[in-house]
Amino acid sequence: MKYIDEYRNKEQVQALIRAIRQTVTRTWHIMEICGGQTHAIARYRLEDMLPPEIQLLHGPGCPVCVTPVEIIDQALTLARRPDVIFTSFGDMMRVPGSKKDLLQVKAKGGDIRMLYSPLDAVTLAEENPDKEVVFFAIGFETTAPVHLMALKEAIRKGLNNFTLLTSLFTVPPAIEAILSDKGCKVDGFLTAGHVCAITGNGAYRQLAERYKTPMVVTGFEPVDLLYGIYRCICQLEAGIYNVENAYKRAVPEHGNIPACILMDEMLESCDIEWRGIGVIPNSGKQLRTAFKKYSSREKFKFLPKEIRISSECIAGEIMKGRKQPRDCPYFGTTCHPEHPIGAPMVSSEGVCAAYYKYK
């Protein structure tokens, strides 16, 4: 309780902690599925305040973390080309591929630009007609519409030198993969409020019913997270398995309908590898055939290559909820943010990186 004075709304925090302690009667394992939520849990020491019966597990909720090495290597290959301006959000610059990262390629002369919006990449393509401009489009359902709007603008302007290197993931198949795993420990989920704000809650209702697992749509402030945990515990203690929206100020039931229409128009489902976990069927999104000419993979043919991942890393076990970062013998020693071995240490929103920084 010593950290409560850090909070703007400490009275609400105290009330929620009391309510959780009064409600829980046995051990429950709850997984948050968003890296931003993981970061907040570590930053505000929420686990230290909860009763010991509540065990928090940390899912694969950071697209930077789960982008596979093969796609990072494709980005590095493109970034080395003299005819390419490679553009990306800043959080991808230090994510390691099999040998290097984008910053190292930039230091060797690659034309790599860190941008704050994919629309800036469209402007670069317009200003540099003699160059191929590639934008590294990573993310979950939250950011996919932003990438697609940029592509729409490039099409409107008739730009043939603009492509997207996509690494797009969807959350419900990952939750299903975790729940269908034989070693699954998860009793309930905190779903990502910003993802549900785009997609709505429909897919989660099907999962909650099929796997008898409550799912609470949750925000990112300490009060949001504690309230989400409380509502999840209330369902578990009562033997109820529903989707409950505990973040109604931001999440409408049916999500952002125009954004969903845009994704349906331009994207189709595909199998994709989640770094540290493996391939999850139909968990990715790729450009539909009508837009394939704007896919970097179609324009620049990549040869398939075998990539060996370090067997030292237990990232998959952590992101499936089987283990915690402290269970890894390399955590904080061999594996740290300056030298990440596994996916959860790659990004600041990965659970290992968050634990390293705050714990």
pLDDT at 340: 82
pLDDT at 37: 95
Buried b (16+ CB within 10 A) or exposed e, 234-248: bbbeeeebebbbbbe
Coil/strand/helix, residue 189: strand
Coil/strand/helix, residue 190: strand
Sheet containing 162-169: which strands, arranged edge to edge?
112-114, 84-88, 132-139, 162-169, 278-287, 267-274
Rg (CA), the chain: 21
pLDDT at 83: 97
**Nearest-angstrom CA–CA distance, 359 and 355:** 5
Out of 3.40.50.10860, 3.40.50.11740, 3.90.950.10, 3.30.479.30, which CATH number does the structure's domain 1-359 have?
3.40.50.11740
By DSSP bridging, strand 278-287 and strand 267-274 are: antiparallel
**Tens digits of pLDDT across the chain (359 residues):** 445 555 567 888 899 999 999 999 999 999 999 999 999 999 999 999 999 999 999 999 889 889 999 999 999 999 999 999 999 998 898 888 888 899 999 999 999 999 999 999 999 999 999 999 999 999 999 999 999 999 999 999 999 999 999 999 999 999 999 999 988 999 999 999 999 999 999 999 999 999 999 999 999 999 999 999 999 999 999 999 999 999 999 999 999 999 999 999 999 999 999 988 899 999 999 999 999 999 999 999 876 665 555 557 788 889 989 999 989 988 988 898 888 887 788 887 889 999 999 87
Q: Which are the contacts of 9, defined by CB distance < 8 A and separation ≥ 6? A: 222, 223
Q: Which are the contacts of 199, defined by CB distance < 8 A and separation ≥ 6? A: 141, 171, 255, 260
**Nearest-angstrom CA–CA distance, 114 and 74:** 17
pLDDT at 311: 59
pLDDT at 2: 47
Alpha-helical runs (H) found in 181-339: 193-199, 202-211, 222-238, 257-266, 296-299, 315-319
